[in-house]
Amino acid sequence: MKATTKPAFEASPQDASSPVRDAAPRPRVEILDTTLRDGAQGEHIAYSLADKLEIAHELDALGVDFIEGGWPGSNPKDMAFFDRAREERWRHARITAFGATRHVKNTPADDPNLQALVASRAPVLIIFGKSWDFHVTHALRVSLDENLAMIESSVKHLAGHCSEMLYDAEHFFDGYKHNPVYAMKGLHAAAAGGAKCLVLCDTNGGTLPAELATIVQAVAGEFGGMRIGIHPHNDSGVAVANALAAVAAGARHVHGTINGFGERCGNVDLVPVVANLQLKMRYDCLLGRPSLAKLTEISRHVYEVGNLPLHDNQPYVGRSAFAHKGGVHVSAVARASSTYEHIEPETVGNSRRVLISELSGRSNVVAAMGRKFNLKDRPQDLKRVVDRVMALENEGYVFEAADASFDLLVRKTLNVHQPFFDLHGFRVVTMVNEANEGNTEATIKIEVAGQIEHTAADGNGPVNALDQALRKALEKFYPELREVFLQDYKVRVCNPKAATGARVLVAIVSSDHKTTWTTVGVSENIIEASWHALVDSVEYKLYQTRGDERLRKRESVRLAKPAAQ
């Protein structure tokens, strides 16, 4: 009989978005998160001690098994993290300290790096050692036998000072391809020293999935019964595929970071790894399916703490992951979401979005605003909204990501918008002294609830000054505005050939730590465009907290009835 080979990826016979009804227990895959250590080595990332503790607690709530908090032998901040971590309460995750094998001239007991690991008192320790003979002779500049002795003695020493010892085989795949016998000897040295898990690192990120799976399978066969882990980097753009291929080939322990942060092109992004393992490949990880609903929240939280922009097209959790623009797609999804979505967005804590543009059909507008205004049964009003979108996009507006401004556009087009304040005027003055130091002041006069408010504020530029002056005038009437902060501010030229007279589109992303919304303004005057976007941002927030109730009292009869034919 001809032997059959099990494919690296096995399709699930049921819809991944439907409840799982497996008869047998699912295999478990451990997750080690290294956002705070390897992820912190990414460009533009600098976590404070408070940041690291905050992210660690989010990871613990998510249900990761290990949190690699840092390298205590490398800097005081990481050692301080482990000091603080001992005082914190962790519900599930085990705090893990990272380091390297001893120096060739040191005994394990006298090696400063190993001493720092022991001093961290972390319950789990992990060290990396060289697997690639080229690295041993050219980077460490020691003999091959000396390197093996360094691995075994370092692991053995540390195993006596922690509850669990892990080993990172650095450059394992490059080493195996160059000298498989020696690469395996390094793993045997770590196992002899007492390592409980052998983690294979694709440190340069250059191995492709098929080759990686073959090597993992060989290691799993060599070390039957021992846990094998995978630590992929994304330099070839296949880190997620490599992690999944490794699990399919026998690995049961995955290292990665939230959002794929890390050196060069980053580590593997744990978000799609965890979602794919749980939903598509029938493995258990984290604390089971309920934890998946936290993925979007923690992804965005880590971006926010790191002061980095969101990646809208990030699989599963990006704002565009379940966004639909084509009218055919929107109408199909309205009938059955699985026509253009591989899972229900709520499974990972995300939500469906319908994008609006001049290319959108009426189905997009109905889907985006139908629940509020029942536009499906109001064809004339629907046409007015679509025509208004087309006219404004011809002027330079873009609504496909500006959900909040589109909400307000619909209200204004249907004559159901009730302003929360009226502008009487504003003035922005920037003074520059002889040292080229600028100071900007905005003065604003508005009417709120029949009262005139005349305020002024300084700011870092005209838009910030306007924002501060507007807040000063409004917050005593609407205290919830204190929760709102500017997350992003972008300017784009609409008609570049007009040079300095060109129209600009200003997009403002605002947040209140619970939700995020985008507003836009267009004008030849960048301050005026910014003002329109600022006002939309404020009014959208107020509609969420009190505006709809106000409108229901005034417009309940009108909104309940279709427009006259």
Indicate the SS3 state at residue 190.
helix
Using an 8 Å Cβ cutoff, are 232 and 242 in contact? yes
Backbone angles phi, psi at 346, to 5 degrees: -65, -20
Task: Please state the pTM of the whole predicted model.
Answer: 0.73
Which candidate, 304, 299, 254, 257, places its Cα nearest to that of 40? 257
User: Please, what sign has the CA dihedral across residues 531, 537, 538, 539?
Assistant: positive
Grouped pLDDT means (10 residues each) for the chain, 565 residues: 39 41 78 97 93 96 97 92 96 97 97 97 98 95 98 98 98 98 98 98 98 98 96 98 98 98 97 97 86 93 87 92 74 79 93 64 58 68 79 78 84 87 93 78 93 92 91 93 90 76 86 88 92 94 77 45 45
The H-assigned helical ranges of 194-238 are 209-222
Q: Specify the residue for token string 């009730």.
A: 418
- Cβ-in-10-Å burial (0-12, 13-18, 19+) of 41 comes to middle
Looking at residue 503, what is its pLDDT? 85
Number of H helices, E strands in the chain: 19, 16
Kindly provide the b/e burial profile for residues 172-184, where b requires at least 16 CB atoms within 10 angstroms of the residue's own CB: bbbbbeebeebbb
Q: How many CA atoms lie within 13 A of 124 on its CB side?
A: 19
Looking at residue 423, what is its pLDDT? 94
**Euclidean distance between CA atoms 187 and 190, whole angstroms:** 5
Using an 8 Å Cβ cutoff, are 527 and 428 in contact? yes
DSSP 472-518: HHHTTT-GGGGG-EEEEEEEEES-GGGGGG--EEEEEEEE-SS-EEE
Q: Residue 423 CA to chain centroid, in angstroms?
A: 38
Looking at residue 369, what is its pLDDT? 59
| DSSP assigned state of 136 | I
Looking at residue 104, what is its pLDDT? 96
In order of their start, the domains of the chain are 30-287 (3.20.20.70), 422-560 (3.30.160.270)
Q: Specify the residue for token string 């005349």.
A: 454
Over its C-alpha atoms, the chain yields an Rg (Å, rounded) of: 28
Q: Which residues make Cβ contacts (< 8 Å) with residue 148, sequence separation at least 6?
A: 185, 186, 189
CA 313 → CA 142, 298, 323, distances in Å? 45, 16, 10
C-beta atoms surrounding 84 within 10 Å? 15
**Euclidean distance between CA atoms 366 and 376, whole angstroms:** 6
Using an 8 Å Cβ cutoff, are 563 and 380 in contact? yes
Looking at residue 148, what is its pLDDT? 98
Using an 8 Å Cβ cutoff, are 347 and 293 in contact? yes
